[in-house]
């Protein structure tokens, strides 16, 4: 039976009482003329019993402490708060991204675009030179399909004069009105991209595209 912790029935108090009782019994034994050898055997037995009780007490104390720790673990209030906070931050980030993107603007040419980040620098206009980074994907039913180009992988941005016929029509139409530092997503119909020719084995003929452009500089 486990020993009680604390109070008048604590193991420490019981050991003290046993010690006092031993002293009293030893006095009585001596008065009654018990041999020294008999008294020594009795004391040895008492000590063994006391050690056993102490060991039992220590085991019970360890068990109670472990149970208390196990009982407290499921609460984990700080961990729970952090998890909730992280979830709220993620939801806020998703909402902020959706808000930044907004609804797509549709041009007469059929090009659609969304401003992901509105820049604060110079405005891109026809006749000026734009420096951009661009990533391109095949349009897979309105979502990004296979990536076919990323200027960052080429190690340098792209420079072109806005309004010339040396680049695809979507670039000329898509960057106009952007400000340096901005990012824009273009949903490009095949007629404004690589048309019926495509690009070798990279872009099939008559492929709609999704482009994301970061306008680095306007001169």
Q: What is the CATH number of the domain that holds 165?
A: 3.10.50.40
> Quick check: is 164 in a domain?
yes
Q: Are both 48 and 122 inside the same structural domain? A: no
Round to whole Å and give the CA distance between 203 and 153.
Answer: 18
Domain that holds residue 32: 11-72
Q: Are both 105 and 213 inside the same structural domain? A: yes
Q: Show which of 56, 72, 88 is a domain's final residue.
A: 72
Q: Are both 38 and 111 inside the same structural domain? A: no
Number of domains in the chain: 2
Give the whole-number percent of the chain exceeding pLDDT 90: 48
Q: Are both 20 and 57 inside the same structural domain? A: yes
Give the whole-number percent of the chain exceeding pLDDT 70: 53
Digit-coded pLDDT (tens) for 77-129: 666 666 656 665 555 444 444 444 468 899 999 999 999 999 999 999 999 99
Digit-coded pLDDT (tens) for 121-169: 999 999 999 999 999 999 999 999 999 999 999 889 999 999 988 889 9
Q: Are both 128 and 202 inside the same structural domain? A: yes
Give the pLDDT score at 85: 62
> Quick check: is 139 in a domain?
yes
- What DSSP string runs through the chain? -PPPPSSTT-HHHHHHHHHHHHHHHHHHHHHTT--HHHHHHHHHHHHHHHHHHHHHHHHHHHHHHHHHHHHHTTT-HHHHHHHHHHHHHHHHHHHHHHHHH-SPEE-TTS-EEEEEE---SPBP-TTSEEEEEEEEEEEETTEEEEEEEEHHHHTS-EEEETT-TTS-HHHHHHHTT-BTT-EEEEEE-GGGTTTTT-BTTTB-TT--EEEEEEEEEE-
């Amino acid at each position: 039976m486990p020993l009680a912790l604390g109070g008048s029935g604590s193991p420490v108090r019981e050991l003290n009482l046993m010690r006092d009782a031993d002293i009293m019994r030893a006095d009585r034994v001596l008065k009654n003329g018990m041999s020294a050898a008999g008294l020594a055997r009795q004391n040895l037995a008492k000590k063994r019993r006391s050690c056993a009780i102490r060991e039992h007490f220590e085991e019970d104390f360890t068990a109670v402490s472990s149970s208390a720790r196990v009982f407290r673990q499921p609460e984990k209030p700080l961990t729970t708060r952090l998890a909730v906070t992280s979830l709220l931050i993620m939801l806020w980030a998703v909402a902020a991204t959706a808000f930044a993107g907004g609804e797509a603007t549709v041009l007469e040419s059929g090009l659609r675009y969304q401003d992901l980040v509105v820049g604060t620098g110079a405005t891109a206009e026809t006749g000026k030179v734009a420096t951009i980074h661009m990533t391109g994907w095949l349009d897979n039913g309105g979502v990004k399909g296979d990536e076919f180009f990323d200027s960052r992988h080429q190690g340098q941005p792209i420079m072109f004069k806005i309004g010339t016929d040396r680049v695809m029509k979507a670039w000329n139409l898509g960057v106009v009105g952007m400000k340096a530092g901005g990012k824009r997503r273009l949903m490009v119909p095949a007629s404004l991209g690589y048309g019926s020719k495509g690009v070798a084995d990279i872009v099939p003929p008559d492929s709609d595209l999704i482009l994301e452009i970061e306008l680095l500089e306007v001169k």
